[in-house]
Amino acid sequence: MEVRAFSKSYDKNPVLQFPAFSFEKGSVYAVIGANGSGKSTFARILAGVLPGDQKSSPFVSACKVGYMPQKSYGFRMSVEKNILLGGKDRQRAQALMEKLDITHLASRRADRLSGGETARMALVRTLMRGYDLVLLDEPTAAMDIASAALAEDCILDYQRENGGVTLIVTHSLKQARRLGDQVLFFHQGNLLEWGPSAQVLEQPEQEETRRFLEFYGA
């Protein structure tokens, strides 16, 4: 999956510069970096919900993209109806709800869920269809440890079944290790280092990457 170089600026102040890049089909990419490093802006531009400076799609060829934003949301309807907005396959919806342990919430109004419940519902809704690229921005941040473990298993199952590219923005280096085949490290709006997760997380080449990993306890 080929992506053209793109950027984002506010009032002529650059906040993101991303180079031309090739994502490998069948891989999970963990995106790490400090707050304000450009991770979510990067995901939002790829998802098409935020225009880059170029005002055009960053993808070289047509690409079906799924996106779970950092702030999960629930519409004023049942959890099941919310999930079916992502795809009409009720059997798949049921299977995913069982995996994420939210079957008992199916008839509950989605806008009355807790933060963790909303995140699990939003993840199910996102994974209802097969995409060339699925973008998950801090998908487990609002979940407790047990729910996060279920979510990670569900994400990996989806990746194996779907075979596309999964990109996970995460503040958790442990999650990046568990899920990422590749790691992208952002620093001050730039993609500073990338490569196989073991290489970037254990033997980084850039000094800023080493400092980040030491500070956050990799």
180-210 residue pLDDT tens: 999 999 999 999 999 999 999 999 999 999 9
Res. 98: pLDDT tops 60: yes
CB 199 within 8 A of CB 167: no
* The pLDDT value given to residue 29: 98
Which two structure tokens, joined as six digits, stand for 119?
């995140």
Res. 132: pLDDT tops 90: yes
Q: Which residues contact 156 (CB under 8 A, 6 or more apart)?
A: 28, 179
Res. 218: pLDDT tops 80: no
* The pLDDT value given to residue 12: 86
Which amino acid, residue 33? G
Res. 165: pLDDT tops 90: yes
DSSP string, the chain: -EE--EEEEETTEEEEEE--EEPPTT-EEEEEE-TTSSHHHHHHHHHTSS--TT-S-SBSS---EEEE-SS----SSBHHHHHHTS---HHHHHHHHHHTT-GGGTTSBGGGS-HHHHHHHHHHHHTTS--SEEEEESTTTTS-HHHHHHHHHHHHHHHHHH-SEEEEE-S-HHHHHHH-SEEEEEETTEEEEEEEHHHHHHS-SSHHHHHHHHHHT-
* The pLDDT value given to residue 21: 97
Which two structure tokens, joined as six digits, stand for 187?
């620093």
Q: What is the model's pTM? A: 0.95
Q: How many C-beta atoms surround the C-beta of residue 25 within 10 A?
A: 11
CB 24 within 8 A of CB 165: yes
C-alpha–C-alpha distance, residues 55 and 67, integer Å: 19
Res. 92: pLDDT tops 90: yes
Residue the block writes with tokens 């990670």: 152
Q: 147 falls in which pLDDT band (50, 70, 90)?
A: very high
C-alpha–C-alpha distance, residues 123 and 149, integer Å: 13
C-alpha–C-alpha distance, residues 202 and 179, integer Å: 15
Res. 217: pLDDT tops 80: no
The packing angle between helices 90-99 and 145-162, to 10°, is 140
